[in-house]
Amino acid sequence: MSTWSYSLTVKNLTSPTTVRQYLSKHLWIPKHLIFALRKQQHVWVNEEYRPMSFSIKNGEKLRLTFVDHDFSLPVQNLIADNSVKPTILYEDDDVLVVNKPRGYKTHPNQPGETHTLLNFCEAYLNQSDQHAYMIHRLDQYTSGAIIVGKNPAVVPILVRLIKEKVIHRTYLAWVDGHFSKTSGTIDKPIGYDDDDKRKRQINGRNAKPAVTDYEVVQTKGNYSLVKLVLHTGRTHQIRVHLASLGHPIVGDPLYNDDDNDEMLLHSWQLKLIRPYYFDELNITSPLTEVMQKF
C-alpha cells in the first residue's frame, strides 16, 4: 500500500477555524479527500488524532496521510517509455516541472500509445517507484515548461490552482507583423470550427469566453516577439487570438500559411504554487535554439 504524508504548520488564520475549514479553504483539498481523511482518521493535530470539527490556530502542527485507496485512480495507466530523457527544470517529492520539446504530444490519446511527454516522465519516475500524473497540457508544437504530478494527492489541488489562475504561466511567441498597440487584452470567445475539427475559431460553435493579455517585447523585420498571459484556458487560445488580430504565430501549421517549419510558441515562465505548503516558486524555461536565432 502506498501512502503520502504531509507535516504542516497552520498559518494565515485571522481567527480559530475548524480542521475541515482549514483543509477546504486554505489547503484547497476537495471534499472527497477530506471525507477520506475523516473516515480513515488520518488527520493529526500536534501528534494527536482530531475530528474535523476540532478548532485549530496558527502555529499548531498538522499531519495528513493519504493512502492509495483514497483515490479512484491511484496510478494513471501510462506505459513507460525511456527513449527520451525528460529535461527537469524543477523537482521535489510531489511535483516535476519539465521542459517539453516541440513536436511531442503531452499525453497519449489511445490505449497503448507511447512516445509522449508523460510516457517519458513515467519511465523517469519509475526508477524511484513513482508515477507521472497529468496536470495540464501544451499543444504538440508548443515547447516549454509544463507541470507533472508525482502522486495522486497533489493532482486535484494543482488542477484547481491552474484553473483558478493562481498558478501563472507566461508565454513567448514570434508572430507575423507589427502591432498598432504595444500591449493590450484580447477578449474574444473561442469555439469549434465546423469546417476543420482540428481547429478552433472566434465565436465558433459552443464558444466560451477567452481572454489573453499581450505585450510586444521587440520587433525584427516584419515580425514581433510578444509576451502572453492567459486568463482562461481554451484550446489553441493563444494561437487563435493572435491569428484573429492578423498576427498569427510564425510556423503555426493550422493558423498560418507561412513556410516556417517550427511553430515559435514557448511556455517561458511559470509561477508554481506547491500544494499543501503553498509557497511560491518562479521557474523559467530556456528558449529553444530556433526561437533564439529567429
Q: Which residues pair with 174 in a beta bridge?
A: 225
Which of these, 131, 149, 136, lies nearest to 107 by C-alpha position?
136
CB 76 within 8 A of CB 108: no
Please confirm, yes or no, whether 139 is among the known catalytic residues: yes
How many Å apart are CA 30 and CA 51, to the nearest integer?
17
CB 174 within 8 A of CB 264: yes
| Three cell numbers written together for 71 | 483515490
Strand partners, 18: 55
Instruction: Answer whether 219's CB lies under 8 Å from 175's CB.
Output: no
Return the DSSP state at 237.
Answer: H
Taking the CA of residue 63 as centre, how many other CA atoms within 13 Å lie in the half-sphere pointing to its CB?
10
HSE at residue 175, side-chain half, CA atoms within 13 A, is: 29
The active-site residue out of 70, 81, 94, 139 is 139
Q: How many CB atoms lie within 10 A of CB 195?
A: 8
CB atoms within 10 A of CB 65: 17
Q: Contact, 154 vs 92, CB < 8 A?
A: no
Beta bridge partners of 134: 148
165: CB partners within 8 A, 6+ apart? 230, 231
Catalytic residue annotation = 139
